[in-house]
Structure 1
């Protein structure tokens, strides 16, 4: 709009100028639909550590970033500069002289860039051959250009939390904070987001990629319209997330929510889950309903050794791995088991609660078959009985697996036991309103971050770790090798969430974080007062990437801070785990069983028990056992055998009420119930100690810019090498070419999945060297000759056809240079576009 006003002012005829102004203003007022915003000036990026060279755009270090000059030549510490485009206005232009120390190099979005990555740090806590996460310190627009070269069409999920544009100076446009007084702040924000969303689209898998953008009420409607325009083929859904149940009072309604806009590409399908993130009916415990594992120790009738000698046999255990190693044979009736070595916990016997010998529920051959299937698992060590609790999937669960009601999710590589869950018919689709206590941004965002970084760590409004995890997991729960990108990484919550998700389900998802190293407005003012400026070491140390994103990522992977202090607290995994709990027994001794001889009196007793309806009391009225209630009552101890028979298989009952004034009778019945049902298995949310860290690797880089000529002359291999490693999937240790070392004829780093031919003259030796490698994903060939590249690529594929049949062959540096020249044209389109949709 501002550019239109400028054009109108150039009309010389006053009457015509006024008429155009009126028409334009009327068209603005009467616009009823669509998205209208200005493209604004191209965005500018200051590079405080770069020395000005011929052709660079520069500004004064102490001046406005938008007051640009073009360096014509440099001599003796002096830059001779002209205004951009001045040479094309006819006639010679006298350059203005500046000291190099006065100038700041500026990159204008739309100019060609040739990026490199400078290694800053790394943390390795995962396996040597495992893929690496990546943290890039950079402005995210140029980082997205780089990522387009590395991962175009390969990203499963992009999750971003951009500035919300609240008017609270929470973001910059051309190095100036945008606040509530800026009349163009919405337009600037849309122009800012448009450029990045266009590039992000190129990274997503075209069929199954998903974009998630979190936002609040300030820009949610504008963002929705922008996404409809930029992602027309995607299905868009808006999710409301309760992030502060108390709400934030703003003089009107108290805001409790923010939003996540999901853009699903056409072939996306989402897996159902046990928690739909809204429904309260399952509660915090019922959310984790899983198929029941039964006690292998027999209870009730025929539960003594002498009742079934063929079911009395040892089970060999590896206590360190918590693994069942072998199933023994039945001990002959005339032999007694050697129980003297129970303390070493290497053998499980069917020992009853009262210390007598019992028996198992299935025979050794059957149990061996179940063990091979993963249907047997080790529970806890029962100190009272001096042996292990052994669990198995009973006949009901086995039939449900065969019928497809229960599915096997995975088999533990160590113990061999299966993880099972009810199939999607028993699960739920995720809702579009999320209301979970773990999504509270205060407790699980700000407080959690302080716990990781210590009280000195500060960051405004970090996301709840679990809200981020649930958003990402909604998309990649069934994609264990997914590639996830966050180019507004902030405090690093997304990587923390991906590591937690991987640790919970055994996935190897890889995460790429991008964030700048901006300091807050307050810190910038204080640093400036001390004479510091952007680029100074002390200034940069206060930036978000170096002070928050990197430390958080490093500390959470290792499980401790740099000073060695372990992180305290636990992560909530969202995964169910069975915990053994004692069943509750209550003696009702103030009532004589003979005195409650009518149903009405028995109902009066039941009325005293929470959660048990009186309608369950029916003739003959000696006890109450229900499939749907967790409490049971025995009114008449003389009917104990019938009561115990009714309790068979009722594992869900946790509370037992026995009407008897005699303590001995009560204790005896209590023992019989425990023997019959075993311990109560309660499904709880599994926790993971934060101090345990994560088995993950992370490489930290800073974006840099190369001289095109150095790349074209094949003089930048050392700088480009990290890109080649990343493009191949960041597998294995990141290789380096030591400074001062000559470039080899070819580069074949051990432990990685790529190789590089640098000298065409060494091609035969190169092919022979890599010919037996079974782990190659990418081969790079440095040559300017297209025909030669085609011939060499064909020969490489032929040589690797049996050992690495899916190898990709890439031409360097032509592929690299061409990619970023294409991006330059894209930038031109971006900077020239705006208007309406």
Structure 2
């Protein structure tokens, strides 16, 4: 609707009467709000790409003169031609009623991508750290996060196990930009711009998450938590959503003028499919006590909806012999039928019914078929107390504890029931509550202070406690040793750091994909502009978030050394305590997002930039095929490439010699030849047709 208000204003300028009539109709329509969250879906969102070379047909803006701190021309121009000799471009104003052109030096232009534009992404490696042997690589990608998310729809669609994000909180204090402008606190569209920005990214994130079992975790404070909650419900209607309150500043809190001082923020937990919160200790909490919790539970149902009338199908007899052994499990009797009139299957047996102490009729926990199975496997048993019989059974939770090794099975007794005991040394683990008060989550001590230890003299506002992020992830990926974790507002890189900690604790091979742009802090931009620097200049880019904070922090965590090469001082705390200078046995590679043309992709001219995407799709491990092989094919550790279909036979023979191969990329325009080769691949190797799969993916997923 913000777009409509702009158009109505233009109409008023041309025809006051028509404009006023349109304005009245608009206000009538906008007052009829449907149920749910309503906000302006500002379109198009646009982003400047200072590192992108200028090409014919590009949308561009003209930059202000070097040294100027004034806002530049925000109009969009299209490049009609490029004069290489003069290093200039001929531009035409987009959307103008009358043609307007100008010639501008290439150095004074910046490419602009609108979010309705189709993009064809690539990646350029900007460095790596390798200490993890054959482990998969963590990746840090410098780029506009919406565009990187689109790129990941090709590499990770439906395969991400957990997403943890800490988006801008929309404080009004220049903490984020919309269309190249900081969103100020007095912006009347401040909340709708934030929601539009978030919705676009969450919709793509939805494509990446594994629908069978995954989780999305979103950190937020009080400024947008109400709107975010509604947005999450609308975007993920089939998910289960909870909100956790996390105390992150227990010592001092954050002052709010004329209000209570805030010590907490919130985590929205969005669970998909069979995702469940694992019972696990939280960093900084006391060691759980020895496990003495009950193992067997009464088969008789208690509580609400436990009466015979509420669940008539669960009212049936269990027949017991006079010596206390099980004879059989009877069938459900109709509601209203008198249990006293049910005839026993044998004269020497009596019935055990689910009867309350007051004599009223209750129900069993399980149906008769399930109870028969439970007695057969030993997960149900009879207990005798004088002349009274009761029935116990193992709940699903206790069966899981047996599978997890928390409860030992010592055998079976003479009746066939399992003999169980708590494993020696086992502790009682409970699921975390919805209010987290662990001292390990102090963002001052274990966010800001810890970050200064890793990259001294480099400031980053409000980093999360490493242990708070570690805990949030642990509750969902502790049993997934090869989980893929994504953070597309990665900031200082805490999520990647937390994943490394989890890997060290259990020998896991989890990998984290961290996405951030290279935005320079607002208070530094003005000084840099006065020096004559612009985005894209090396002197500017070296101070951006990705290059100045994220990449050095991830590298320092792995190597155990600060950027100047000295060992990191201090120790990690809580769950796993060791010197930070030890580092981690992990691998990481850093990339910058590029923007390719479909013609260059389909003609193999962009292979070196598409190559990292092929590697990422195959699991981001082992060797990467960096260039087109002269022999027509090449085999790496996790994937293979056939760029000459006439060499299919030696290619397939080579595949059979490699263990753990996941994907075979086949370059061909001929679908029949692709299918013929695909049928000959070894079992378990996925055939992917290049570049048809790449071009189709982005043709269909990026237009808005």
TM over 0.5: yes
Match of 1:354 in 2: none
- Does the CA-based 8 Å contact 2:162-2:214 persist in structure 1? yes
**Who is 1:753 aligned against?**
638
Cα distance in 2 between the residues matched to 1:21 and 1:715: 52
Which among 66, 73, 77 is matched to residue 81 of structure 2? 73
Cα contact 1:72–1:79 (8 A) shared by 2: yes
- Whole-angstrom CA distance in 1 between matches of 2:73 and 2:231: 28
After TM superposition, the structure 1 = structure 2 runs for residues 354-503 of structure 1, keeping only pairs within 5 Å, are: 400=408, 402=410, 405-406=421-422, 421-422=426-427, 426-454=428-456, 456-503=457-504
Match for residue 711 of structure 1 among 598, 601, 605:
601
d(CA) in 2 for partners of 1:400 and 1:204?
A: 36
User: Counterparts in 2 of 1:318-717, with a 5 A limit?
Assistant: 400=408, 402=410, 405-406=421-422, 421-422=426-427, 426-454=428-456, 456-574=457-575, 686-717=576-607
Aligned equivalents of 2:612 and 2:207: distance in 1? 22
Whole-Å separation in 2 of the counterparts to 1:139 and 1:264: 26
Q: Is there any run of 5+ residues in structure 2 with no aligned partner, and where?
A: 65-70, 293-404, 411-418
1:210 to 210, 215, 236: 215
Output the CA distance in 2 between the equivalents of 1:691 and 1:289: 34
What's the CA shift for 1:18? 4.2
> Residue 573 of structure 1: CA displacement?
4.5
Corresponding residue to 1:48 among 45, 50, 62: 50
Match for residue 689 of structure 2 among 792, 808, 811: 811
Give the equivalent residue in structure 1 for 2:296. Answer: none
Distance (whole Å) between structure 2 residues aligned to residue 500 and residue 813 of structure 1: 38
Report the counterpart of residue 387 of structure 2 in structure 1. Answer: none
Q: Would the alpha carbon gap of residues 453 and 565 (structure 1) be closer, same or farther in structure 2, given more than 3 Å must change? A: same
Aligned residues of 2:455 and 2:563 also touching (Cα < 8 A):
no
- Unaligned ranges ≥5, structure 1: 278-282, 292-396, 409-419, 575-685, 829-837
Secondary structure in structure 1 of the residue aligned to 2:268: strand
Query: What CA deviation, in whole Å up to 9, does each residue of 1:372-394 have, x standing for no partner?
Result: xxxxxxxxxxxxxxxxxxxxxxx
Q: Which residue of 2 aligns with 1:831?
A: none
Q: Secondary structure at the match of 2:529?
A: helix
Match of 2:23 in 1: 21
* Alignment partners' CA distance in 2, 1:473 and 1:570: 20
| Distance in 2 separating the partners of 1:147 and 1:239 | 28
Secondary structure of the residue aligned to 1:255 is coil
SS in 1 for 2:468: helix
Q: 1:483–1:509: 8 Å Cα contact kept in structure 2?
A: yes
Structure with larger Rg: 1
Q: Which of 250, 255, 266 in structure 1 is aligned with 2:262?
A: 255
2:62 match: 60
- How far apart are residue 285 of structure 1 and its match? 3.5
Determine helix, strand or coil for the equivalent of 1:570.
Answer: coil
How far apart are residue 484 of structure 1 and its match?
0.3
- Cα displacement (A) at 1:288: 6.7
Match of 2:273 among 266, 269, 294: 266
Give the distance between the partners of 2:654 and 2:23, measured in 1 at CA.
72
User: What does residue 299 of structure 2 align with?
Assistant: none
Aligned residue among 613, 626, 634 for 1:723: 613
Q: Would the aligned equivalents of 1:58 and 1:103 in 2 still touch at CA under 8 Å? A: yes
> Cα deviation per residue 1:184-208 (whole Å; 9 max; x = unaligned)?
1111111111110000000000121
- What is the TM-score of this pair, normalised by structure 1? 0.65
- In 1, distance between residues paired with 2:106 and 2:6? 34
Structure 1 residue 30: Cα displacement: 7.8
Q: Does 1:110 align with 2:116?
A: yes
Structure 1 match to 2:337: none
1:238 maps to 243
Aligned-pair RMSD on alpha carbons?
2.5
How far off its partner does 1:73 sit? 1.8
Find 1:175's aligned residue among 177, 180, 188.
180
User: Aligned pair 1:772/2:657, yes or no?
Assistant: yes
Contact 1:274 1:289 in 2 (8 A): no
CA spacing shift, 1:513–1:570, aligned 2, 3 Å? same
Distance 2:203 2:265 in 1: 24
- CA shift at 1:156, angstroms? 0.4
Q: Give distance in 1, aligned partners of 2:259 and 2:58.
A: 51
The alpha-carbon distance between structure 1 residues 217 and 32, as it changes in their structure 2 partners (threshold 3 A), is farther
Distance 2:462 2:22 in 1: 46
Distance 1:284-1:720 versus aligned 2 partners, 3 A rule: closer
Alpha-carbon distance change, 441 to 94 in structure 1, aligned in 2, over 3 angstroms: closer
Per-residue deviation, residues 601-623 of structure 1 (Å, max 9, x unmatched): xxxxxxxxxxxxxxxxxxxxxxx
Matched residues in 1 for 2:670 and 2:591: separation?
Answer: 32
Q: Within the alignment, does 1:200 sit opposite 2:205 as a pair?
A: yes
Q: Give SS of 1:71's match.
A: strand
